[in-house]
Amino acid sequence: MPSSDLPAQLTAWRRDFHRHPELGFCEFRTAARVAGELEKLGWHVAAGAEVMRAEARMEVPPAAEIAAARAEALRDGADPAWVARFGDGLTGVVGTLDTGRPGPTVAFRVDLDALPVCESDDPSHAPTREHFSSARPGRMHACGHDGHTAIGLGLAATLPALARDWRGRIKLIFQPAEEGCRGAKSMVAAGVLADVDHYFATHLGISLTETGAVACGADHILATVKLDATFRGVAAHAGVDPHLGRNALLAAATATVQLHAIARHGAGASRINVGLLEGGSGRNVIADRAVLKLEVRGATTPICQWMAVEAERVLRAAAAMHGVEVVVENMGEAGSAPCDAAARAVVRRAAERSGAPRIVEFAPLGGSEDATLMMEAVQARGGSATYLIVGTPLPAGHHHPRFDLDEAALPRAVALHTEIARELLQ
């Protein structure tokens, strides 16, 4: 693809993905489009069960929801052959370009999924004004993953011609279900990172709001564990036989209060939040069921794991206090992998060569990201990894109904990543 055509193509890809947002493990249309483009551009494509281990996924949607998403993707033009490859929500895709000459393996990771957010219909919102806002009510690309996926395809279009004189291999990892930190673990478990020497994960915006500015690494990345606790008690008439009941809702409420009383860790920042508590069936019935959804976070993975152990202890103690049962499930997790100095240095030099208007060593992430699980896998075998940020103005914050990005950041991001690959493989 001529470089002069790339900005328009990146915009077209981004707007297509923006108009058809899909939630985690339901990205059938997006993944099919990605796989088809990679194949057309000459990449070896692995997908579905080849790049994901089904049992390692977390908080998988109900089968009916996955089936509906599959049908929706087919209705909206997804290639049936690719959709079939994704089975029941194995929507990961990996493109590999092998130069045929020995050298390192460089991986770039982008994410595919959208959010359960209703997009603004205000005419001043650019996607509404320019007619590419979400066509799927209640779902929206409110975090920039549509732009990330377009960047991945931009690299797929740009790198093959350059790599004729390079050594080693390039992997483009298109990860599902980043939101909630649910999808990376299954790709790590499938061995996608087993041969990677240099790993780069990318995000647009966050705390960097100048178009094309580059943060060589992210800091303040909080490790996290997401837990669901289901309490099961015994129903009874609240007036006649309250002594025969075992109140699951009261146990969950007790746990909610005590979870927030967990002592904070002295070695670094720690967080806990109960975001959902529901249960019972009526005002005159002792509640026999309640569900509590919570998350813990920590400045480091060990701090986060300590918080998770304490949280589970509180959940089980609250259940025992009220004579009910509780099942605790891990629904998502991410680590706090540090961004390696060597990888950051590569990004800095690439940013300088690609003409980035501003370069900073770090920009704060502030939240959690399961790309860290991939980073840890690479670092554990002696490789280097960083989580870099490319700037864009933000008319509203991430996960907001008016979120949008500056599409001029997309070709800048492709140029940056091209220079990273050039340095490591040329």
Reported as a single tens digit per residue, the pLDDT across 30-63 is 999 999 999 999 999 999 999 999 999 999 999 9
Q: What is the CATH number of the domain that holds 167?
A: 3.40.630.10
- Tens of pLDDT, residue by residue over 251-287, are 999 999 999 999 989 999 999 999 999 999 999 999 9
When pLDDT is cut at 50, 70 and 90, the band that residue 4 belongs to is confident
Q: What is the CATH number of the domain that holds 296?
A: 3.30.70.360
Chosen domain end from 295, 312, 334: 334
Shared domain check, 33 and 89: yes
Q: Count how many domains the chain has.
A: 2
- Tens of pLDDT, residue by residue over 62-76, are 999 999 999 999 999
pLDDT at 2: 60
Q: Where are the beta strands (DSSP E) in 71-197?
A: 93-98, 105-111, 169-175
The sheet with strand 93-98 has its strands ordered as: 44-47, 93-98, 169-175, 105-111, 198-204, 384-390, 214-219, 359-364
Shared domain check, 232 and 118: no
Shared domain check, 163 and 236: no
* pLDDT at residue 127 greater than cutoff 70: yes
* pLDDT at residue 231 greater than cutoff 80: yes
Cα 91 to Cα 32, 46, 250, 317, 319: the distances in Å are 8, 11, 39, 38, 37
- Tens of pLDDT, residue by residue over 347-393, are 999 999 999 999 999 999 988 999 999 999 999 999 999 999 999 99
Residue range(s) defining the domain that contains residue 353? 3-221+337-425
* pLDDT at residue 82 greater than cutoff 70: yes
Shared domain check, 325 and 189: no
Q: What is the pTM of this model?
A: 0.94
Shared domain check, 235 and 188: no
pLDDT at 199: 98
* Cα separation, 323 vs 247, whole angstroms: 8
